[in-house]
């Protein structure tokens, strides 16, 4: 029988031991990366939640088990934190050590957190979109900035009505707490060349019924005063039909105004929109 030399056997044993150690090390690093990724996902979701972001919560994950610590002022928020953690892929168990204190007051802090930055960016995007879609305003010349729900509008518009319309659209956006309307009404009269260019651009731009319907639905969903999910929208030949049931006459009137505000709308039929 063939026998390996002693030195070769020793070398082979050392190589196998090193390989086994390397595999174990790689597995350990892989698990650490997974734990860190899951921790980050849970924490990010907490910071995006308006119910949890101001609470002093901590998360640690080890091999599929998440441990939650911190303070909240309601049992429902403690349970929310647990359900969010369980919703992360790979989390099999949650040790919820969060303490519920009825008199606990979360402190948002003076510096905007990640969640607030995302909220403000979402508000800015929604307002810019509504200004671009509007037949009464020129979104391309209006700058929008949002800080903690406070919106600042700057730039130029061609009429006082356009300035007022921009402010109303901004105020009627979910998450907005105040609007500083610094828009300036331009006194410059468009030249004949500019008018001709604008007329040509309008004539060449076909606004489809589906585009109008989509923008109206989005405008209603962005609204803080209209329950847009309760309104059905259809468009034919630029004539918009609204149907559904809202909570009041004022809400119905605002829904009609928002729909009529969108570019390409020729008329709004709201007979089937009740309250």
Question: Domain span at residue 36?
Answer: 18-100
If asked whether residues 53 and 66 sit together in one domain, one would say yes
Asked whether residue 4 is domain-assigned, the answer is no
Q: What are the residues whose beta carbons fall under 8 Å from the beta carbon of 207, sequence distance 6 or more?
A: 238, 263, 264
Asked whether residue 172 is domain-assigned, the answer is yes
Average pLDDT over residues 7-32: 62
Buried b (16+ CB within 10 A) or exposed e, 32-44: eeebeebbebbbe
**Could you report the per-residue pLDDT of 226-240, keeping only the tens digit for each?**
887 889 999 999 999
Residue 68, domain CATH = 3.30.1340
- For residue 113, what are its two tokens? 């957190």
Asked whether residue 256 is domain-assigned, the answer is yes
Dihedral sign from CA coordinates of 216, 219, 225, 230: positive
- Nearest partner of 128 among 112, 151, 159, judged by Cα: 151
Asked whether residue 13 is domain-assigned, the answer is no
The verdict on pTM exceeding 0.95 is no
Tally of residues, the chain: 275
If asked whether residues 121 and 198 sit together in one domain, one would say yes
The position carrying tokens 């030249």 is: 191
If asked whether residues 181 and 224 sit together in one domain, one would say no
Choose one of 150, 168, 203: the last residue of a domain: 203
The mean predicted confidence, pLDDT, of the chain is 83
If asked whether residues 68 and 86 sit together in one domain, one would say yes
Q: What percent of the chain has pLDDT over 70?
A: 79
Q: What is the DSSP string of 37-78?
A: HHHHHHHHHHHH-TTTTTS--EEEEETTEEEEE-EES-HHHH
If asked whether residues 171 and 229 sit together in one domain, one would say no
The domain tally of the chain equals 3
**Could you report the per-residue pLDDT of 190-228, keeping only the tens digit for each?**
555 555 445 444 443 468 999 999 999 999 988 888 887
pLDDT of residue 197: 46
If asked whether residues 31 and 66 sit together in one domain, one would say yes
């Amino acid at each position: 029988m063939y026998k390996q030399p002693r030195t070769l056997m020793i070398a082979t044993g050392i190589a196998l031991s090193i390989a086994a150690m390397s595999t174990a090390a790689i597995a350990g690093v892989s698990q650490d990366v997974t734990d860190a990724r899951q921790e980050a996902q849970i924490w990010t979701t907490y910071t995006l939640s308006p119910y949890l972001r101001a609470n002093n919560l901590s998360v640690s994950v080890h091999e599929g088990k998440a441990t939650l610590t911190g303070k909240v002022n309601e049992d429902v928020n403690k349970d929310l934190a647990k359900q969010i953690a369980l919703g992360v892929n790979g989390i099999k168990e949650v040790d919820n050590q969060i303490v519920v204190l009825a008199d606990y007051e979360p402190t948002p802090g003076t510096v905007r957190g990640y969640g607030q930055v995302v909220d403000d960016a979402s508000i800015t995007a929604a307002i810019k979109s509504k200004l671009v879609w509007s037949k009464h305003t020129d979104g391309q010349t209006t700058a929008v900035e949002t800080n903690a729900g406070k919106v600042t509008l700057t730039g130029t518009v061609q009429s006082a009505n356009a300035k007022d319309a921009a402010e109303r659209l901004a105020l009627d956006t979910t998450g907005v707490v105040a609007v500083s309307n610094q828009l300036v009404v331009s006194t410059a009269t468009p030249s004949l060349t500019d008018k001709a260019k604008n007329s040509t651009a309008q004539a060449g731009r076909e606004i489809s019924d589906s585009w109008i319907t989509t923008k109206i639905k989005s405008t209603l969903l962005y609204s803080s005063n209209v329950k847009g999910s309760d309104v059905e929208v259809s468009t034919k030949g630029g004539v918009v039909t609204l149907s559904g049931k809202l909570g009041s006459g004022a809400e119905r009137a605002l829904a009609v105004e928002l729909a009529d505000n969108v570019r390409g709308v020729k008329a709004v039929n709201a007979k089937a929109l009740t309250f």
